[in-house]
Amino acid sequence: MEISGISMLIGLLIGIALLIVLVLKTKVQAFLALILCTIVVGLIGGMPLTATDIVNAAGESKSGASIINSITGGFGGTLGSIGIIIGFGVMMGQIFEVSGAAKRMAYTFLKLFGKGKEEEALALTGFLVSIPIFCDSGFVVLSPIAKALSRTTKKSVISLGVALAAGLVITHSLVPPTPGPLGVCGIFGIDVGLFILLTIVLALPMAIACIFYARKYLAKKFYRIPDEEGNIVEQPYQAPDYESAFHMDMEGVPGAFASFLPLLLPILLILINTVASALKASGIFWNIMIFLGQPIVAVGIGLLVAIFTLGRPFSRETILHEMEKGMASAGIIMLVTGGGGALGRIITDSGLGGYIANGLAGTAIPLILLPLVISTLMRFVQGSGTVAMTTAASITAPILIASGTVSPMLGAIACCVGSLFFGYFNDSYFWVVNRTLGVSEAKEQLRIWSVTSTIAWAVGVIEVLILSIFMH
């Protein structure tokens, strides 16, 4: 059975329209809406209901591709990569909350960066943390700091959380050794070290623009503060109270070392794993370090450290209750994250992404725009930034290198920048950020996170166009 690229494109447009109507205008929950949208895309696009041998829009034979297989494969594949980490992360975050470690972190950041610089502090933290670890798990682990800062300073948790999320996703999308940018470097055959230096510099203006949006617009428009039970509630706006934050009662709160250790240890282990893998280090010691540095293992170790250090003053029943409370909050995050993965998978399995990208490659648009446009559209239609940038690189690298008129380094940067465009319903990070911050209304989700990610993308596009004047 042949899947038509045109029919899949029509199916996608109808499916997205249906998804928007369901989440904006009906009482259908986002997870169910995502699954329904995925089925509609597949049905209209001509995908079989059950497994069979088909030919996709790119002309490739795909044994077993079907609507049901794509839904289950996309759901399981997405949660298989980040589901366990989300589970560990929310449990660790709950321990941070109940032990006072998050309060200590907030106090430390206030002292370090000074009054009124909370957004910068969180963005920089995310900026550094997301270089070695995935932004999804990084946000889950670090979000208790944003909540604690919000509670003590009376700043909106939305503006603080978005600043953190922006710092995380920008370096995750641009700076190796995260898998996407690293893969793009390999496809273009460019120097990774130079790419890291360039993208760190380019990432800074993007982060600054997102901080500005969070502080000047989101802080007052969406003024929400966590209450004593951790529930994020909307309140009348009030000016930040820095003095009470600097004089808050720290009696019984863990020290800075104990508070940060469960967070920093996994990051250190993952970083060691990244360096050892890049250098192809061998031997028993390095094999053990590479194993301990796997994200699931590293975050699991961090959780154990939190249990046996921060949880020491509490009874077994209390700690178990708090961790189970955290696991309960992770349920909806995992469901909608998996639903987004299902939508992305059906687009990949059908060959629609390749159909669109190859169609663009045959047009007469300027070569430097080619990787940017393909990556941007791939990001929009299937949600995964990593898939978007690597697909764009695979298609455009041979074209750009053969032309000799566009720098492969610049082409690689353009692929990564395009992957930041408008994170929405089919992006797992969209759900992680919004749900963790207690944002459930679709209109608000789009204004809070989709606009933020698009601001980072727009600044990146301007930077690529400026660089194209000087890099050939």
pLDDT of residue 61: 46
b or e along 302-332 (b: 16 or more beta carbons within 10 Å of the residue's beta carbon)?
bbebbbebbbeebeeeebeebbeebbebbee
Residue 29 lies in a domain: no
Q: What is the DSSP letter of 449?
A: I
pLDDT of residue 354: 67
Percent of the chain with pLDDT over 90: 27
**154 Rama class: left (phi>0) / alpha (psi -120 to 50) / beta:** left
Mean pLDDT computed over 339-344: 75
Cα–Cα distances in angstroms (integers) from residue 46 to residues 13, 42, 211, 352, in the given order: 14, 6, 44, 12
pLDDT of residue 130: 80
Mean pLDDT computed over 394-399: 82
pLDDT of residue 355: 74
Q: What are the tokens at 385? A: 């930034």
pLDDT of residue 402: 81
Residue 45 lies in a domain: no
The mean pLDDT value of the chain amounts to: 84
CA distance 298 to 284: 18
Residue 5 has pLDDT above 80, yes or no: no
Give the SS3 label for residue 330: helix
CB contact set of 118 (below 8 Å; sequence gap of 6+)? 109, 110, 149, 153, 155, 160, 163
Res. 57 pLDDT band, cuts 50 70 90: very low
Total domains, the chain = 1
CA distance 165 to 210: 10
Residue 186 has pLDDT above 80, yes or no: yes
Which tops the pLDDT comparison, 95 or 420?
420
pLDDT of residue 353: 66
Mean pLDDT computed over 84-104: 80
Lowest mean pLDDT: which of 221-225, 245-249, 365-369, 447-451? 245-249
Q: Report which listed range, 5-9, 135-139, 318-322, 460-464, is most confident.
A: 460-464
Mean pLDDT computed over 105-113: 79
Q: What are the tokens at 427? A: 């992006």
Res. 63 pLDDT band, cuts 50 70 90: very low
Structural domain boundaries, residue 298? 82-175+192-329
H-state helical runs in 65-100: 67-99
Residue 419 has pLDDT above 50, yes or no: yes
Mean pLDDT computed over 23-52: 80
Cα–Cα distances in angstroms (integers) from residue 56 to residues 4, 7, 67, 354, 380, in the given order: 7, 11, 13, 10, 20
Cα–Cα distances in angstroms (integers) from residue 111 to residues 142, 192, 250, 312, in the given order: 18, 36, 13, 27
Residue 12 lies in a domain: no
Mean pLDDT computed over 245-252: 74
Percent of the chain with pLDDT over 70: 91
Mean pLDDT computed over 239-255: 78
pLDDT of residue 308: 93
Mean pLDDT computed over 178-207: 86
pLDDT of residue 337: 67
Q: What is the pLDDT of residues 157-177, one digit of tens each?
A: 999 999 999 999 999 999 886
Residue 358 lies in a domain: no
Residue 395 lies in a domain: no
Rg (CA), the chain: 22
pLDDT of residue 9: 82
Residue 94 lies in a domain: yes
Mean pLDDT computed over 348-371: 75
Residue 22 lies in a domain: no
pLDDT of residue 81: 62
Which tops the pLDDT comparison, 152 or 334?
152
pLDDT of residue 268: 85
